[in-house]
Amino acid sequence: MLDDFMTRAALAGLGVALAAAPLGSFVVWRRMAYFGDATAHAAILGVALSLALQMPIFAGALAVALAMALTVTVLSGRGYAMDTLLGVLAHSALAFGLVAVSFLSGIRIDLMAYLFGDILAVSRSDLVVIWGGAVLVVGLMAWRWSALLTATLSEELAHASGIDPRREQLILTLALAITVAVAIKVVGVLLIAAMLIIPAAAARPLSRTPEQMALMAAAIGGLSAIAGLHAAYVFDTPAGPSIVCVAAILFLSTSVVRSLRA
């Protein structure tokens, strides 16, 4: 079954949707969209380092994405507006990554595959990495779910409950870095933030509880992956962007449903 490239692509898309769903819900609740974007943009520098040091792409992307997320966490609240800080770091990391790639002599690299994903080229070993990362992210979110919700609702309430908000922020940071590292092969660094935010935003009008929203986001993300792959096959369009386009259409649909209910 896994000899079929479309089957591998579908499984890869579902794995990324599973990882992105609960994390994307917190990104939406905490208004961390730019945070996710900055972390994803930094991953291209991790790709360059991985190729230069002959390391697995996952390891390099994870290390740099985690370093970027930690840097943002440390620098926030030190005299810089958050949107300015994220804008500087995100675009600087992407630029340095692209420049670093240009210095790699003797190594063939398809930049478009890393910028916009190459889900149709996913291998069996890639599937192991993607699903391993997805299980790890879901496990982290399930383990700290109540504490993360409390810290998201109110830092004062978290302190009163004996929860350290900064620790929960670090857990989110780690989960975000893992998600970026596993998703880079599927949708690329420029579209990872979209897969984090759009399914969760689409699920919000249909959900009454945080748990419902996370489950609905996973369903919408999975549906986007399957339908996007089918559209890419039928219309001969890029797979990664097609997946995001379907997610955007679903977001528009749920927004219309919400407006009709109002």
Model confidence, pTM? 0.89
Is the separation of the CB atoms in 117 and 191 below 8 Å? yes
Q: Are residues 203 and 217 in contact, defined by beta-carbon separation less than 8 angstroms? A: yes
- The DSSP string of the chain is -TTSHHHHHHHHHHHHHHHHHHHHHHHHHTT-HHHHHHHHHHHHHHHHHHHHHT--HHHHHHHHHHHHHHHHHHHTTSSS-HHHHHHHHHHHHHHHHHHHHHT-TT----HHHHHH--GGG--HHHHHHHHHHHHHHHHHHHHTHHHHHHHHH-HHHHHHTT--HHHHHHHHHHHHHHHHHHHTTTT-TTTHHHHHHHHHHHHGGG-SSHHHHHHHHHHHHHHHHHHHHHHHHHHT--HHHHHHHHHHHHHHHHHHHHHHH-
CB 23 within 8 A of CB 141: yes
Instruction: List, for residues 18-47, the tens digit of each pLDDT value.
Output: 999 889 999 899 888 777 888 888 888 888
* Mean pLDDT within 64-72: 83
Domain ranges of the chain: 5-190
Per-residue pLDDT band for 73 (boundaries 50, 70, 90) equals: confident
Domain 5-190: which topology? ABC transporter involved in vitamin B12 uptake, BtuC (1.10.3470)
pLDDT given at position 78: 67
pLDDT for 228-244, tens place per residue? Answer: 999 999 999 999 999 99
